[in-house]
Amino acid sequence: MRNIISDTLVLKTQRQGDYDKQVVLFGPGAGLIRATVYGSYRGKSRLAGSTEQFLRLKAYLYYNPVRDSWKLSDAEVLDSHRGIMGSLERILAASVGAEIVMKTDAAGGEERLYRLLLEYFHSLDDQSEVDISYFLIQFLWRYLAVSGYLPDLESCPECGRVLGPGESMVFSQDDPPFSCSDCGKGRGERRLSPGVRRYLLHTGELPWDRAVKVHLSSDAAEECRAVLSEYVQNVVEVPIHSLEGGGLAL
């Protein structure tokens, strides 16, 4: 028998049978846990409202070794993140974070990944910010840092040359994924313009709340989002459906 009490985020929920709910929880110490909320769809279930997607919970988890399964026996809502549910764009953006964590088995360190995801969900919960594309961009960029795949945008990994502030880089499916325009000649499907390079280098050093306030032109923001989306999917080696399909039009 094993019991865990952990701060967790609800990444996914799914009805199971007539009355039960499967939830995917993620938290430091707990890691990724698939648990059942028994009787969640019965009228009087105490846990029905406290096990919705994107909630932050203090979760009381119980492991049943006979069934080899986890049960959520109690939960206290720490943050409802209700604002995320206010728009499809916010839901999709939050889903990107949830999907990446689930599909990578939270690779990159639970603590740091949890803090990043929490910061991201808090931002998406804030209704005063209209342009949420910068939250997604910052999440993807910081995810690369947490998972150890942050590309070097200051020098070319192929020729070693330090790039000037006015130079662009070539992004491709090859190795290295980012190189100077000389080394990447003829291979790049995409370019990372000088402005976007400088933006990423600059905002990567800032705390989250200041980083999301730095804005690009809409074309540059779209280029940045597109390159990071593609690169992150290459890194995790699996398609992230919530990043595809252009649901997050800028």
* Contacting positions for Zn ion (CB under 5 A): 156, 158-159, 180, 183
Nearer to Zn ion, 14 or 155 (CB): 155
CB of 152: closest distance to Zn ion in angstroms? Answer: 11
Nearer to Zn ion, 46 or 185 (CB): 185
In DSSP terms, which residues pair with 62 in a beta bridge? 3, 71
CB of 140: closest distance to Zn ion in angstroms? Answer: 24
Nearer to Zn ion, 181 or 234 (CB): 181
Nearest to 61 by CA among 19, 33, 20: 33
Q: At what angle do helices 110-125 and 88-103 cross, to 10 degrees?
A: 170
Measured CA to CA, the distance from residue 239 to residue 230 in angstroms comes to: 9
Cα dihedral sign for 227, 121, 94, 126?
A: negative
Measured CA to CA, the distance from residue 227 to residue 111 in angstroms comes to: 27
Nearer to Zn ion, 159 or 238 (CB): 159
Radius of gyration of the chain, Cα coordinates, nearest whole angstrom: 20
Measured CA to CA, the distance from residue 250 to residue 236 in angstroms comes to: 24
Question: Using CB atoms within 10 A of its CB, is residue 130 exposed (0-12), middle (13-18) or buried (19+)?
Answer: exposed
Nearer to Zn ion, 106 or 183 (CB): 183
Q: Two tokens at 250?
A: 């800028």
Which spans in the chain are helix H?
88-103, 110-125, 133-147, 194-203, 208-211, 218-236
CB of 159: closest distance to Zn ion in angstroms? Answer: 3
CB of 188: closest distance to Zn ion in angstroms? Answer: 12
CB of 227: closest distance to Zn ion in angstroms? Answer: 18
Question: Is the bond preceding residue 176 a cis peptide, omega within 30 degrees?
Answer: yes
CB of 225: closest distance to Zn ion in angstroms? Answer: 25
CB of 174: closest distance to Zn ion in angstroms? Answer: 13
Nearer to Zn ion, 28 or 176 (CB): 176
Nearer to Zn ion, 176 or 204 (CB): 176
